[in-house]
Amino acid sequence: MTLATTRLGRTGLTVSRLALGTMTFGLQTEESVARQILDKAAHGGINFLDTADVYPLGGGLKTIGTTEEILGRWLREAPGRRAGFVVATKAFGRTGPHPWDQGSSRKHLLDAIDASLARLQTDYVDLYQLHGDDTRTPLDETLEALDTIVRSGRARYVGVSNFLAYRLARALGKSELHGLVRFVSVQPRYSLLFREIERELLPLAQEEGLGVIPYNPLAGGLLTGKHRRGAPTEGTRFTLGTAAERYQERYWADRYFDTVDALQALAKEAGVSLTTLSVAWVLANPLVTAPLLGASRPDQLDDTLAAAGYVLDAGLKQRLDELTQVYRWGDSAR
The set of catalytic residues is 55
Which residues share a beta bridge with 128?
Answer: 89, 158
Instruction: Give the H/E segment covering residue 254.
Output: helix 254-270
> What is the end-to-end Cα distance of the chain in Å, rounded?
42
Q: Which of 114, 119, 113 is nearest to 56 (CA)?
A: 119
Which residues share a beta bridge with 158?
Answer: 128, 183
- Alpha carbon separation from 91 to 104, 110, 113 (Å, rounded): 8, 10, 8
- CB contact at 8 A, 38 and 78: no
- CB contact at 8 A, 128 and 113: yes
- CB contact at 8 A, 49 and 68: no
Rounded Cα distance, 182 and 167, in Å: 14
Q: Which of 165, 212, 225 is nearest to 185 (CA)?
A: 212
E strand segments, 133-210: 155-161, 183-187
Within 13 Å of residue 277, how many CA atoms lie on the same side as its CB? Answer: 26
Cis peptide before 56 (omega within 30 of 0): yes
Which residues share a beta bridge with 88?
Answer: 50, 127
- CB contact at 8 A, 60 and 94: no
- Alpha carbon separation from 246 to 80, 225, 249 (Å, rounded): 38, 19, 5
Q: Which of 288, 256, 262 is nearest to 274 (CA)?
A: 262
